[in-house]
Amino acid sequence: MPEVVFPLDSTKSFTEQSIVGHNRWHPDIPAAVQVDPGDVFRVHCREWFDGAIRNDDSADDILNAPLASVHVLSGPISVRGAQPGDLLIVDILDVGPIPQEDSGPLAGQGWGYTGVFATNNGGGFLTEQFPDAYKVIWDFRGGVATSRHVPNVSFTGIVHPGLMGTAPSASLLSTWNAREQRLIDTDPNRVPPLALPPLPDSAVLGSLDGAEFDRVAAEAARTAPPRENGGNQDIKNLTKGSRIFYPVFVDGAKLSVGDLHFSQGDGEITFCGAIEMGGFIDLHVDLIKGGMQTYGVSENAIFMPGRTDPQYSEWLAFSGTSVTLDGEQRYLDSHLSYQRACLHAIDYLTKFGYSDIQAYMILGAAPIEGRLSGVVDIPNSCSTVYLPTEIFDFPIRPTKDGPHQINPGQGVPRATA
């Protein structure tokens, strides 16, 4: 096993650990760990809500999820010799749930969860159709996920970090804050909000304290969106065997990682999210000096995905176009056409006995493929969502006999408040 450079004790909260991580982006959060180019090391990661979500049959914890505290990240990890303009090579050598035989109280100890946020606390991709808070528990066994809340479906995990990235420079951080504030200003009272400005409340900034903590907390960017540094990209294919090339904006690069997922569908459409869990990740790092200029990598990370995806080969696909449910034509709106494709798939699955929220949870957690199939045929973009047919233990394809009926079981817990 590689040396654990960022350890976490499962019995303690994120801020009580021997090395405290962070939940904001800022160049002045001190490096927690130093490694050398060529090093191989292990990092422990808390699940993104630091244990606030429990393995039970209530969604009240999702309803009241502490959004100001996310994402709890492990790092920053300083790589000796890294300078602005370099490319940081990160190899994911292994990644998995918390290694423990018995199931425990933390997501990652044999189980994980998928949630849907209420519209007034987070919202999500289909929040107009699903305005309440919901939660599904998934059990892990032999690398496969099943759920007491969503029967007749099981799939192999494609374990990956939802969030990994380098620290922004001071000027890049101010660019982020300015452009996101301009967007917020177009509709400052929108629910859910258009973007999340810096928020000192619940900020965790590694070893910083005192006046320096207050200054950094007031400027530091939230971790929800992906940006030029990588960040919360939620790319399900960043699994074991992946090599990622991150732009370096500060001395040492200051790599951070967290938000591990046992599995996820393309788009992480449920927002809370994939199958969320804590766990470990083994990394190897190296540098390409001056690589940002050499390879034209300034906009964002590039990567080579791993080859350990589950081998699903048969699919049932659903398409959608950029027309609203009210029949309004929109111009090449791929976000809308992907929503319509997903709603199409949800409608279809309800014909077999699933509730609509059970179907939504399957699309968020299972390894579905989302594609931009057409983006030029004015006025309609065409998006498609591919469901692997083998994840269902009953025939899912249309036949002349009509849909096989499943027993939907106890269903998906909804928040009571």
Cβ closer to Zn ion: 198 or 273?
273
Minimum distance from CB of 260 to Zn ion (Å)? 8
- Radius of gyration, CA atoms only, the chain: 21
| Smallest separation (angstroms) from Zn ion to the CB of 271 | 9
Write the CB contacts of 201 (distance below 8 Å, at least 6 apart in sequence): 68
Specify the residue, 234 or 251, whose C-beta has the smaller distance to Zn ion. 234
Separation CA 409–CA 152 (nearest Å): 10
Supply the minimum distance, in Å, between the C-beta of residue 233 and Zn ion.
11
CB of 275 to Zn ion, least distance (A): 9
Complex with Zn ion: residue 162 or 291, whichever CB lies closer? 162
**Could you tell me where the DSSP H helices lie in 97-223?**
170-185, 210-219
- Where do contacts with Zn ion occur on this chain (CB under 5 A)? 162, 259, 273
Residues in a beta bridge with 97: 279
CB 366 within 8 A of CB 155: yes
In the complex, least distance from residue 65 CB atom to Zn ion, rounded to whole angstroms = 12
Nearest distance, CB of residue 363 and Zn ion, angstroms? 15
Closest CA to 265 of 275, 278, 277, 255: 275
Burial class (CB in 10 A: 0-12, 13-18, 19+), 155: buried
Q: How far is the CB of 331 from Zn ion (least distance, A)?
A: 31
In angstroms, the CA 157 to CA 308 distance is 10
Nearer to Zn ion, 35 or 118 (CB): 118
CB nearer to Zn ion: pick between 236 and 414? 236
11, 100 contact by CB (below 8 A)? no
Minimum CB distance to Zn ion smaller for 43 or for 208: 43
Instruction: Identify each DSSP E strand in 59-109 by its residue range.
Output: 73-79, 87-97
Any alpha helices (H) in 4-101, and if so which ranges? 60-63
Q: What is the nearest approach in angstroms of Zn ion to the Cβ of residue 202?
A: 17
Please identify, using beta-carbon distances, which residue of 112 and 310 lies nearer to Zn ion.
Answer: 112
Nearest CB to Zn ion, comparing residues 123 and 320: 123
Q: Cα separations (Å) of 408 from 53, 62, 104, 151, 156?
A: 24, 22, 27, 6, 21
Give all strands of the β-sheet with 40-45 in edge-to-edge order: 3-6, 40-45, 279-288, 87-97, 243-247, 302-304
